[in-house]
Chains A and B, each alone.
Chain A
Protein backbone atom coordinates (compact mmCIF):
# COMPACT_ATOMS: atom_id res chain seq x y z
CA UNK A 1 0.00 0.00 0.00
CA UNK A 2 1.12 3.57 -0.66
CA UNK A 3 1.48 5.36 2.67
CA UNK A 4 0.52 9.04 2.63
CA UNK A 5 2.04 11.25 5.33
CA UNK A 6 0.91 14.81 5.92
CA UNK A 7 2.64 17.57 7.84
CA UNK A 8 1.91 19.26 10.10
CA UNK A 9 -0.89 17.47 11.94
CA UNK A 10 -2.33 20.84 12.92
CA UNK A 11 -1.76 24.41 11.87
CA UNK A 12 -2.92 27.80 13.16
CA UNK A 13 -2.74 30.72 10.75
CA UNK A 14 -3.93 34.31 11.01
CA UNK A 15 -6.73 35.51 8.76
CA UNK A 16 -5.35 36.75 5.46
CA UNK A 17 -2.08 34.87 5.88
CA UNK A 18 -0.77 31.92 3.89
CA UNK A 19 -1.35 28.33 4.97
CA UNK A 20 0.81 25.50 3.64
CA UNK A 21 0.14 21.78 4.08
CA UNK A 22 2.54 19.09 2.90
CA UNK A 23 1.90 15.55 1.77
CA UNK A 24 4.47 12.87 1.07
CA UNK A 25 3.72 9.55 -0.61
CA UNK A 26 5.65 6.36 0.09
CA UNK A 27 6.20 5.86 -3.62
CA UNK A 28 5.76 8.00 -6.69
CA UNK A 29 2.18 8.62 -7.80
CA UNK A 30 3.28 9.99 -11.16
CA UNK A 31 1.69 7.70 -13.72
CA UNK A 32 4.01 7.25 -16.69
CA UNK A 33 1.27 6.52 -19.24
CA UNK A 34 -0.35 9.94 -18.85
CA UNK A 35 2.46 11.86 -17.07
CA UNK A 36 -0.03 12.92 -14.41
CA UNK A 37 0.24 12.83 -10.65
CA UNK A 38 -2.64 10.80 -9.23
CA UNK A 39 -3.00 12.97 -6.13
CA UNK A 40 -6.05 14.77 -4.76
CA UNK A 41 -6.74 17.20 -1.90
CA UNK A 42 -9.96 17.26 0.11
CA UNK A 43 -11.47 19.61 2.66
CA UNK A 44 -13.69 18.26 5.43
CA UNK A 45 -15.78 20.38 7.76
CA UNK A 46 -17.47 18.95 10.89
CA UNK A 47 -20.46 16.77 10.15
CA UNK A 48 -19.84 16.80 6.39
CA UNK A 49 -18.21 14.40 3.95
CA UNK A 50 -14.89 15.38 2.44
CA UNK A 51 -15.08 17.77 -0.50
CA UNK A 52 -12.73 17.44 -3.47
CA UNK A 53 -10.68 20.62 -3.90
CA UNK A 54 -7.85 19.63 -6.24
CA UNK A 55 -7.09 16.65 -8.44
CA UNK A 56 -4.12 15.72 -10.62
CA UNK A 57 -2.08 17.44 -7.87
CA UNK A 58 -2.77 20.95 -9.17
CA UNK A 59 -6.16 21.15 -10.96
CA UNK A 60 -8.82 23.00 -8.96
CA UNK A 61 -12.33 21.62 -9.06
CA UNK A 62 -15.00 23.88 -10.49
CA UNK A 63 -16.17 26.40 -7.92
CA UNK A 64 -13.12 26.10 -5.66
CA UNK A 65 -11.73 29.57 -4.86
CA UNK A 66 -8.45 30.40 -6.53
CA UNK A 67 -6.78 31.04 -3.17
CA UNK A 68 -6.44 27.22 -3.05
CA UNK A 69 -3.58 25.82 -5.10
CA UNK A 70 -1.77 22.52 -5.33
CA UNK A 71 1.77 21.78 -6.40
CA UNK A 72 4.38 19.05 -6.43
CA UNK A 73 5.21 15.90 -8.32
CA UNK A 74 6.32 12.35 -7.73
CA UNK A 75 6.26 11.91 -3.97
CA UNK A 76 6.10 15.44 -2.54
CA UNK A 77 3.05 17.66 -2.72
CA UNK A 78 1.78 20.90 -1.21
CA UNK A 79 -1.62 22.50 -0.70
CA UNK A 80 -1.44 26.25 -0.30
CA UNK A 81 -4.17 28.63 0.80
CA UNK A 82 -2.86 32.03 -0.21
CA UNK A 83 -5.01 34.18 2.08
CA UNK A 84 -6.82 32.32 4.83
CA UNK A 85 -10.52 33.02 5.24
CA UNK A 86 -12.66 32.08 8.23
CA UNK A 87 -14.58 29.54 6.15
CA UNK A 88 -11.35 27.63 5.42
CA UNK A 89 -11.23 26.22 8.95
CA UNK A 90 -11.40 22.48 8.33
CA UNK A 91 -9.38 19.28 8.16
CA UNK A 92 -7.51 18.76 4.91
CA UNK A 93 -6.56 15.38 3.45
CA UNK A 94 -4.40 14.27 0.57
CA UNK A 95 -5.22 11.03 -1.24
CA UNK A 96 -3.50 8.99 -3.91
CA UNK A 97 -5.51 7.35 -6.67
CA UNK A 98 -2.54 5.79 -8.40
CA UNK A 99 -4.14 2.44 -7.84
CA UNK A 100 -6.14 0.51 -5.30
CA UNK A 101 -5.94 0.41 -2.41
CA UNK A 102 -6.53 4.13 -2.48
CA UNK A 103 -4.98 5.72 0.59
CA UNK A 104 -5.40 8.98 2.46
CA UNK A 105 -3.12 11.06 4.62
CA UNK A 106 -3.93 11.31 8.32
CA UNK A 107 -5.30 14.83 7.93
CA UNK A 108 -4.17 18.34 8.87
CA UNK A 109 -6.41 20.42 11.10
CA UNK A 110 -6.36 24.08 10.08
CA UNK A 111 -7.43 26.70 12.61
CA UNK A 112 -7.42 30.47 12.94
CA UNK A 113 -4.64 31.99 15.07
Chain B
Protein backbone atom coordinates (compact mmCIF):
# COMPACT_ATOMS: atom_id res chain seq x y z
CA UNK B 1 0.00 0.00 0.00
CA UNK B 2 1.41 3.35 -1.05
CA UNK B 3 1.64 5.97 1.67
CA UNK B 4 2.85 9.56 1.71
CA UNK B 5 4.09 11.00 4.99
CA UNK B 6 4.45 14.76 5.20
CA UNK B 7 6.74 16.64 7.53
CA UNK B 8 7.54 20.27 8.10
CA UNK B 9 6.69 23.27 10.28
CA UNK B 10 3.19 24.52 10.81
CA UNK B 11 4.16 28.13 11.44
CA UNK B 12 6.31 30.32 9.21
CA UNK B 13 7.06 34.02 9.56
CA UNK B 14 6.30 36.40 6.70
CA UNK B 15 9.13 36.77 4.15
CA UNK B 16 10.69 33.48 5.27
CA UNK B 17 10.85 30.15 3.42
CA UNK B 18 8.35 27.32 3.84
CA UNK B 19 9.92 23.87 3.50
CA UNK B 20 7.90 20.64 3.45
CA UNK B 21 8.92 17.07 2.73
CA UNK B 22 6.87 14.13 1.52
CA UNK B 23 8.30 10.66 2.21
CA UNK B 24 7.09 7.87 -0.07
CA UNK B 25 6.57 4.28 1.03
CA UNK B 26 5.36 1.46 -1.21
CA UNK B 27 6.35 3.23 -4.43
CA UNK B 28 9.33 5.00 -6.00
CA UNK B 29 9.72 8.69 -6.70
CA UNK B 30 11.54 7.61 -9.88
CA UNK B 31 8.56 5.59 -11.18
CA UNK B 32 8.20 6.43 -14.86
CA UNK B 33 4.40 6.54 -15.08
CA UNK B 34 3.50 8.78 -12.13
CA UNK B 35 4.01 12.38 -11.06
CA UNK B 36 4.49 13.77 -7.56
CA UNK B 37 2.59 16.90 -6.67
CA UNK B 38 2.06 19.60 -4.09
CA UNK B 39 -1.44 20.99 -3.64
CA UNK B 40 -2.79 23.44 -1.09
CA UNK B 41 -6.28 24.15 0.20
CA UNK B 42 -7.60 27.32 1.76
CA UNK B 43 -11.09 28.79 2.19
CA UNK B 44 -10.26 31.64 -0.19
CA UNK B 45 -8.55 29.64 -2.96
CA UNK B 46 -10.09 26.18 -2.60
CA UNK B 47 -7.92 23.31 -3.87
CA UNK B 48 -4.95 24.78 -5.74
CA UNK B 49 -2.38 22.70 -7.60
CA UNK B 50 1.10 24.12 -7.07
CA UNK B 51 3.75 21.94 -8.69
CA UNK B 52 4.73 18.49 -9.90
CA UNK B 53 7.92 16.57 -10.53
CA UNK B 54 8.28 13.38 -12.54
CA UNK B 55 10.89 11.12 -14.12
CA UNK B 56 10.81 10.15 -17.79
CA UNK B 57 14.44 9.24 -18.49
CA UNK B 58 15.26 12.56 -16.87
CA UNK B 59 13.61 14.78 -14.26
CA UNK B 60 10.96 17.34 -15.12
CA UNK B 61 9.09 19.90 -13.04
CA UNK B 62 6.06 22.10 -13.66
CA UNK B 63 4.73 24.96 -11.57
CA UNK B 64 1.57 26.99 -11.24
CA UNK B 65 2.09 30.50 -12.57
CA UNK B 66 0.98 31.95 -9.24
CA UNK B 67 3.99 30.47 -7.40
CA UNK B 68 6.50 29.75 -10.15
CA UNK B 69 8.91 32.53 -9.18
CA UNK B 70 8.93 31.49 -5.51
CA UNK B 71 8.62 27.70 -5.48
CA UNK B 72 10.98 24.78 -5.99
CA UNK B 73 9.97 21.11 -6.02
CA UNK B 74 12.81 18.62 -5.69
CA UNK B 75 12.94 14.84 -5.83
CA UNK B 76 15.38 13.02 -3.55
CA UNK B 77 16.00 9.54 -4.89
CA UNK B 78 18.36 8.57 -2.06
CA UNK B 79 15.56 9.04 0.49
CA UNK B 80 12.64 8.28 -1.85
CA UNK B 81 10.92 11.56 -1.13
CA UNK B 82 10.24 14.95 -2.63
CA UNK B 83 10.11 18.40 -1.17
CA UNK B 84 8.62 21.84 -1.54
CA UNK B 85 10.31 25.15 -0.89
CA UNK B 86 8.24 28.31 -1.07
CA UNK B 87 10.16 31.54 -0.63
CA UNK B 88 9.04 34.95 0.59
CA UNK B 89 5.81 33.70 2.11
CA UNK B 90 2.95 36.04 2.98
CA UNK B 91 -0.26 35.47 4.97
CA UNK B 92 -1.92 34.55 1.64
CA UNK B 93 0.18 31.36 1.66
CA UNK B 94 -1.64 30.18 4.79
CA UNK B 95 -3.29 26.88 3.84
CA UNK B 96 -3.30 23.12 4.31
CA UNK B 97 -0.57 21.70 2.08
CA UNK B 98 -0.87 18.20 0.61
CA UNK B 99 1.54 16.03 -1.32
CA UNK B 100 0.02 13.60 -3.81
CA UNK B 101 0.80 10.95 -6.35
CA UNK B 102 -0.81 11.42 -9.75
CA UNK B 103 -1.15 8.30 -11.89
CA UNK B 104 -2.59 10.29 -13.61
CA UNK B 105 -5.47 11.23 -11.28
CA UNK B 106 -4.42 11.99 -7.71
CA UNK B 107 -4.90 8.58 -6.17
CA UNK B 108 -2.68 8.89 -3.10
CA UNK B 109 -2.60 11.86 -0.73
CA UNK B 110 -0.49 12.78 2.25
CA UNK B 111 -2.17 13.56 5.53
CA UNK B 112 -1.93 17.32 5.03
CA UNK B 113 0.13 19.94 6.85
CA UNK B 114 -1.69 23.04 8.11
CA UNK B 115 0.65 25.99 7.57
CA UNK B 116 0.11 29.43 9.06
CA UNK B 117 2.11 32.43 7.93
CA UNK B 118 2.24 34.85 10.82
CA UNK B 119 4.72 36.85 12.83
Contact = CB atoms under 8 A, between A and B. Distances in A.
Given A38-B104, A40-B105, A100 B49 contact: yes
B43 to A, nearest CB: 11
B71 to A, nearest CB: 13
Given A40-B106, A52-B107, A97-B105, A104 B46 contact: yes
A63 to B, nearest CB: 11
Interface residues of A, number: 20
A50 interface: yes
Interface string A81-112: 00000000000010101001111101100000
A97 B104 contact: yes
A49 B49 contact: no
Interface of A: 38, 40, 42, 49-52, 55-56, 61, 93, 95, 97, 100-104, 106-107
Closest 6 CB pairs of A and B: A49-B109, A55-B105, A40-B105, A104-B47, A102-B49, A100-B62
Interface of B: 37, 46-49, 52, 62, 64-65, 98, 102, 104-107, 109-112
